[in-house]
Amino acid sequence: MFNAGFRALSLDAAYVRLAASTAEEALSTAREIGIKGLNITSPFKSEVVPLLDEVEPGARKVGSVNTVITRDGRFVGYNTDVAGVIGALRESDFEPEGKKAVVIGAGGAGRAAALALQASGVRVVLVNRTGEKAFEAARILGCDALPLEHIADGLEGAHLLVSCISSNGRLISPSLLSSGLTVLEADYGRPTALLRDATDAGCRLIDGRLWLLHQAVPAFTLATGKEAPVAEMRKALFKRSWALHKNVALIGFMGTGKSTVAQEMAASSDLSFLDTDSAVEARAGMPVSEIFEMKGEAAFRMMEQDELQELWNVSRAVISCGGGAVLTKRNRRFLRSRCIPVWLWADVDTALTRVGGEGTRPLLRGDDPGSRARALLDERLFLYACTSDLVINTRGKTPRDIAARIWDEVHYVFDS
Ligand code: S3P
């Protein structure tokens, strides 16, 4: 969505998923890479709040931030979920004034939905598995609350049910759903039990992706200062398909651990392991450093490109790419169309420590490998960002941790 928006406005910007284990790690990685803005999703929307330098009042009230913008090195938090819910309802011609709604889930998304509905003249009942959490949030937001056991009371006479919980299980008895009810399921990624039950009961459904779209529109403006090209973003959101993405490709600077992590991923899944540097070396019959010495960098780039282009028909592989694989347009096209490109990040000092001093990386030879590495990374930073789908900071993690974290983010492509 964002990338389609950037393209439509010819902005030199890239949007990439950031896999982080904590909100703190997300922010420190953003600072290291120089990321200008982030969208925060579950489960970090509340956790991130105390870590920010400034939080706009709406977000503070909801106790949840889904958009962070870096301004003069300071992190400023916003909540565009409130606008997202209102946009989704408006687009679905749901007239809120005077209606009753049940919002299930008192996390960041649920609280934003409750506030949005309250502000639109809806009587809101907030329901949560842990009742106290619902009561506490309802007190701040000024709405009603119930524990999950009493959801039947809440649904009596309700016009709208907004589900903001991530659970595969059935939490609402199908007998409580009827054709008079409109259902907005925030978990838009999969056919949840609620969506199935609501369809069977003849409820009117509002596509959760509309919420996603309408929270992204103000986030886009906050990040770029420009009006969002909504039509292009919508088109990208609804057409997204992973059907052709048959492989995972690990990209990133030298010394970020691409080969080791790729081997870990292959060992713990049924994906095979491929390595472009090894493929080039096998074909040339000499190490990469010798190819650079005898034939030069340009020749190496051609060979590297040939190896990658040979992989168009490969599927279910983890491909470890040389650090410069993103330099050519043909490679970037291959990586984005046939792979889920994952960018392994390490700051230059960490990367240099990892590659060691044995001179295996011809581009870092010479008196001052540190400055060479910094200059190279600067040149490539944007290419890594606009090629990748996911970025992960490798610092302080074992290859096994990194492999597991990536797998967590991409496995659904291979499960289906
Ligand atoms: C290169 C990275 C190396 C290797 C070659 C060029 C680069 O691979 O392809 O030395 O341009 O960054 P690694 O990233 O695996 O070190």
Calculate how far, in angstroms, residue 323's C-alpha sits from the geometric centre of ligand 1: 4
Q: What is the pLDDT of residues 58-91, one digit of tens each?
A: 999 999 999 999 999 999 999 999 999 999 999 9
Asked whether residue 277 carries a pLDDT value surpassing 80, the answer given is yes
For ligand 1, is residue 258 a contact (CB within 6 Å)? yes
On whether the 2-82+211-237 domain is CATH 1.10.10.10, my answer is: no
Asked whether residue 6 carries a pLDDT value surpassing 70, the answer given is yes
Q: Do domains 2-82+211-237 and 247-414 have the same CATH topology?
A: yes
Taking the CA of residue 256 as reference, the ligand 1 atom at the shortest distance is 14
Of the listed 45, 99, 246, 258, which one is catalytic?
45
Helix H or strand E segment including 288: helix 288-295
State residue 358's pLDDT score: 54
Taking the CA of residue 255 as reference, the ligand 1 atom at the shortest distance is 16
Asked whether residue 213 carries a pLDDT value surpassing 80, the answer given is yes
Buried/exposed 339-348: b ≥16 CB within 10 Å, e otherwise: bbbbbbbbbb
For ligand 1, is residue 257 a contact (CB within 6 Å)? no
For ligand 1, is residue 159 a contact (CB within 6 Å)? no
For ligand 1, is residue 58 a contact (CB within 6 Å)? no
Q: What is the pLDDT of residues 372-401, one digit of tens each?
A: 999 999 999 999 999 999 999 999 999 999
Q: Reply yes or no on whether 45 is catalytic.
A: yes
Q: What is the pLDDT of residues 113-162, one digit of tens each?
A: 999 999 999 999 999 999 999 999 999 999 999 999 999 999 999 999 99
Q: What is the pLDDT of residues 254-271, one digit of tens each?
A: 999 999 999 999 999 999
CATH architecture for segment(s) 247-414: 3-Layer(aba) Sandwich (3.40)
State residue 359's pLDDT score: 64
State residue 355's pLDDT score: 85
Distance in angstroms (rounded) separating the CA atoms of residues 363 and 369: 8
Look at domain 93-206 and name its CATH class.
alpha beta
Domain ranges of the chain: 2-82+211-237, 93-206, 247-414
Amino acid identity of residue 214, one-letter, is H
**pLDDT band at residue 363, thresholds of 50, 70 and 90?**
confident
Q: What is the pLDDT of residues 17-52, one digit of tens each?
A: 999 999 999 999 999 999 999 999 988 999 999 999
Judge contact between 49 and 65, C-beta under 8 A: yes
Asked whether residue 240 carries a pLDDT value surpassing 80, the answer given is no
**pLDDT band at residue 367, thresholds of 50, 70 and 90?**
confident
Residues pairing with 77 in the sheet = 55, 68
State residue 241's pLDDT score: 66
Distance in angstroms (rounded) separating the CA atoms of residues 35 and 20: 14
Taking the CA of residue 259 as reference, the ligand 1 atom at the shortest distance is 15
Q: What is the pLDDT of residues 283-340, one digit of tens each?
A: 999 999 999 999 999 999 999 999 999 999 899 999 999 999 999 999 999 999 899 9
Q: What is the pLDDT of residues 152-196, one digit of tens each?
A: 999 999 999 999 997 778 999 999 999 999 999 998 877 889 999
For ligand 1, is residue 322 a contact (CB within 6 Å)? yes
State residue 242's pLDDT score: 62
